[in-house]
Homo-oligomer: A and B are copies of this chain.
Amino acid sequence: MKAARETRAAWRVALGNIIFNADTPAGRVFDLGLILAIFVSVLTVMLDSVASVGRRYGPLLNDIELGLTALFTVEYLLRLLTARHARHYARSFFGVVDILSILPSYLALLLPAAQFLLIVRVLRLLRIFRIFKLVRFLSEASVLQQALQASLAKITVFIATVLTLVTIIGTLMYVIEGPQNGFTSIPTSIYWAIVTLTTVGYGDIAPKTGLGKTLASLAMILGYGIIAVPTGIVTVSLAQAQRGVQPDRVCPRCGLRGHTRDALYCSRCGEKLPGSLGQMP
């Protein structure tokens, strides 16, 4: 945002600041109004699905929905108009979410009773996350994101292990309990294994035989222990992200890895680290 294009009209720059930034009072008001409109529109979708409400207030909810869609359309066009690079905005994550949140309403006008389109309207909720880009939640969200990214490989290993486990446990239970006890097929048994291992435990399917209950008990204690692994992974990553540890920052002299962002010298051999923040006089 350093070099503003001089050639653009001043009102476009001013309007863009209101729409894309939340630093000014006007921008803050705009953002709050937008969030309110999103909440109202999602609430409309929800209420419309409740039989008693939908029957009675259906037309009213429809009108509100139409009005909000018009509003979101104007907003989208303004964003296209005032964005520094309209094409870049249209292809960005929030650009796609913005268009996805108005398109289905127009499609539903052309092709009525397309119930599945209503899912996409709920995606409007994702627009709420736009505010995280603006306010002080930014650094918090980035620490969380950094921690999750750093643990991605470990979490992949973990999920692969869990999926293999539930497949084997599910198949075993299918053989032990069988269709007569609710384990009608291997996919259903794997579903049961996931319900059990994640400690959700609906109880719609539950083992009846002694052997089945014993295996289920083992699976539960296993699942109880297994939950500790992702927790451990995320905690350690978060602690490192918080301290500013950068796993890729290597000492050029002794090869020690994982110095913090703040570190000036290698903690082992005292060598000056490259890429120091340089805030020191």
The contact sample of 5 A-B pairs, CB cut-off 8 A, is A46-B185, A129-B160, A187-B210, A195-B217, A198-B223
The reply to whether the CB of A234 lies closer than 8 angstroms to some CB of chain B is: yes
Question: Which of under 10, 10 to 19, 20 to 34, or 35 or more describes the interface residues of A?
Answer: 35 or more
A159 to B128 alpha-carbon distance, docked (Å): 13
User: Is B157 a contact partner of A140 (Cβ separation < 8 A)?
Assistant: yes
Q: Could you say which of B221, B232, B235, B255 contacts A159, with CB atoms under 8 Å apart?
A: B221
Could you give, for residues 177-218 of chain A, a 1 whenever the CB lies within 8 Å of some chain B CB and a 0 otherwise? 001000011111011001110111111101000100110110
Given contacts A132-B160, A144-B229, A191-B214, 18 further A-B contacts (CB under 8 A): A45-B171, A46-B187, A49-B185, A50-B187, A125-B167, A128-B164, A137-B156, A137-B157, A144-B233, A159-B221, A194-B220, A194-B221, A198-B223, A202-B202, A228-B233, A231-B235, A236-B238, A255-B279
Number of copies: 4
- Shortest beta-carbon distance, A154 to chain B, in Å? 5
The reply to whether the CB of A155 lies closer than 8 angstroms to some CB of chain B is: yes
Which residues does A use to contact B, with CB under 8 Å? 42, 45-46, 49-51, 115-116, 118-119, 122-123, 125-126, 128-129, 132, 136-137, 140-141, 143-144, 147-148, 153-160, 162, 164, 167-168, 171-172, 174-175, 179, 184-188, 190-191, 194-196, 198-204, 206, 210, 213-214, 216-217, 220-221, 223-225, 227-240, 242, 253-256, 262-264, 268-269, 279-281
